[in-house]
Chains A and B, each alone.
Chain A
């Protein structure tokens, strides 16, 4: 409760800042190393950047990028996030059967390598079950046989071998695997929400399902989004495993094919690396927007929001 009159209020402090000589030394070292690298890029003809650029724009490579890498990433992440949220919520359910099922799911799909899973789905599944007969009841065929019916009650038949080497099977496989990881991320996100939020919603008469959808999950998203961005970026790279289905319309297989054909191996690696880096950069921008959206109401308001508040005189 001291009193300060405006007259003896001092002006802003004019002091010399703390010197940072280390920063300048580090900058010099990095500059020299960068210059050396750049010089080698430009003078070593084996890099062959013009050829790498050509490979990046080669039609089959672009086709593989779009139909394998990008569609594969988007599709498998959509399936993975959907499965992950459902399995994650199930894991926290009061129903012991659901808890058990979700534990088994996570245990299985987190345990097998994606490369092995691609092999199983691409070759093994079609070998075991060339056709899926979909009937109206469980055990339709056995039931029809037991009742002595002529038909076997099949509504339609899925020819598995038609799918086994397509992007659809790839998306299903990578999505099932991703679901297991996303389930753990979703569970962690849900557990991070203050239990008081659940109680407040309950006290307002909100049913448990709605409380999860409207109150808990939106807040859990703040915690779920950053690791999901991580998973998405990992998935971009894991789409190269589609070639184990085998599916060849995929970025890495296509650049590699050019390499083995032309014996220009390194420039094709450069082309693949450049495309992967470009996609991941775009995804990082998207992630930062999502984080801003789900972070609303938490922490300090953004600069823009603060200016708005000051303008209407609503802050203090």
Chain B
């Protein structure tokens, strides 16, 4: 869905504009000055070893974590603070909640509301945050369920759905708020390998509609096919960034190369193990994208 309502703001190409973001947990500096611009309609994949700060950075964008230094703007709006004549004032929880309405997020552990059905999960925010009528929200909810391939499961509780189905409901729930930006925090890491594809397919479809997305993932195939830009983080800094071909196939930094080599080794091991189980000849891993 191309965004045509914000033509005035569309003049500014950057939807997310992060400058020198710092964040510490109990004296342990996790983000050491992150700069990142994400343009409208762009898909950015954050790669990096665990502990590199990519998930923390993602959570800082929608203020699930407050930042200690730097600034983050989303659609021209400074996140978490009001700048009154050069002095920053921390926003109230209520004001921060209002800022999050345009930013969807999907979690590694799905975090669906277990006491509500799939459809009720999707309707919750439109009805109780945006104030839409239940009927309107129901119609839109069914549309979204159809879009993620679950139109026959509206009244299933999360515990009755597989992991992949739960994550697809979670994506539909985030989309119900008509976000300008979608954040994905390792959306397939908690899934059994055979369920990863169905979630990635939904995300691919979403990218095709022009949704601006920031995705933390270890899925190299997705990064290569879908991302407009890949950002490699390590130790709380951006080590290198650029087009997926450039970063993944021709990394300039040793740290990026080490990480990619490790990822490839894991994926090849997986392919070999799967092939051995299925008793088929091992295909040539090609340019490293064989796991998908």
What residues of chain A have their CB less than 8 Å away from a CB belonging to chain B? 1, 194, 196-197, 199-208, 210, 214-215, 218-219, 222, 294, 296-299, 301, 309, 314-315
Contact = CB atoms under 8 A, between A and B. Distances in A.
Nearest to B120: A297
B107 interface: yes
A298 B114 CA distance: 7
A274 to B, nearest CB: 39
The 3 A-B residue pairs whose C-beta atoms are closest, nearest first, are: A205-B101, A200-B111, A297-B157
With most chain A CB atoms within 10 A of its CB, the pick from B107, B115, B153, B157 is B115
Given A314-B152, A315-B160, 14 more contacts: A1-B277, A196-B107, A204-B100, A205-B98, A205-B99, A205-B102, A206-B128, A207-B97, A214-B124, A215-B124, A219-B114, A294-B115, A297-B157, A297-B159
A205 B94 contact: no
8 contacts: A1-B277, A200-B113, A205-B98, A206-B125, A206-B128, A219-B114, A219-B115, A315-B160
A207 B93 contact: yes
Given A202-B100, A297-B115, A309 B160 contact: yes
Contact of A296 (B115, B156, B173): B115
A203 B104 contact: yes
A210 B173 CA distance: 17
A272 B218 CA distance: 68
B281 to A, nearest CB: 17
A209 to B, nearest CB: 8
A208 B97 contact: yes
Contact of B115 (A200, A218, A301): A218
A203 B129 CA distance: 11
A299 B160 CA distance: 9
B114 A297 contact: yes
A32 B114 CA distance: 49
With most chain B CB atoms within 10 A of its CB, the pick from A199, A200, A299 is A200
Contact of B93 (A1, A208, A301): A208
A301 B117 CA distance: 13
Contacts of B125: 204-206
B177 interface: yes
Contacts of A196: 107, 109, 111
Contacts of B115: 218-219, 222, 294, 296-298
A202 B157 contact: no
B153 A314 contact: yes
B111 A199 contact: yes
Interface string B162-202: 00000000100110010000000000000000000000000
Contact of A205 (B114, B129, B152, B170): B129
Given A203-B100, A204-B129, A297-B158, A194 B173 contact: no
Contacts of B34: none
A222 B101 CA distance: 29
A222 B107 CA distance: 24
Nearest to A296: B115
A210 B135 CA distance: 21
B140 interface: no
Contacts of B159: 297-299, 301
B177 A205 contact: yes
Contacts of B62: 203
B128 A203 contact: no
Contacts of B173: 204
A68 to B, nearest CB: 37
B74 to A, nearest CB: 13
A215 B109 CA distance: 17
A22 B252 CA distance: 75
Interface string B99-135: 1111111010101111111000000110011000000
B25 to A, nearest CB: 15
Contact of B174 (A204, A219, A299): A204
B94 A301 contact: no
A202 B99 CA distance: 10
Contact of B97 (A194, A200, A202, A314): A202
B10 interface: no
Nearest to B278: A1
A294 B114 CA distance: 11
A207 B94 contact: yes
A207 B128 CA distance: 10
Contact of B116 (A207, A210, A297, A314): A297
B107 A200 contact: yes
Interface in B42-93: 62, 64, 93
Nearest to A196: B111
A215 B116 CA distance: 9
A296 B111 CA distance: 16
B105 to A, nearest CB: 4
Contacts of B128: 206, 210, 214
Nearest to B126: A204
A203 B61 CA distance: 11
A208 B113 CA distance: 16
B264 to A, nearest CB: 27
A199 B129 contact: no
A199 B107 contact: yes
Given A205-B100, A214-B128, A194 B153 contact: no
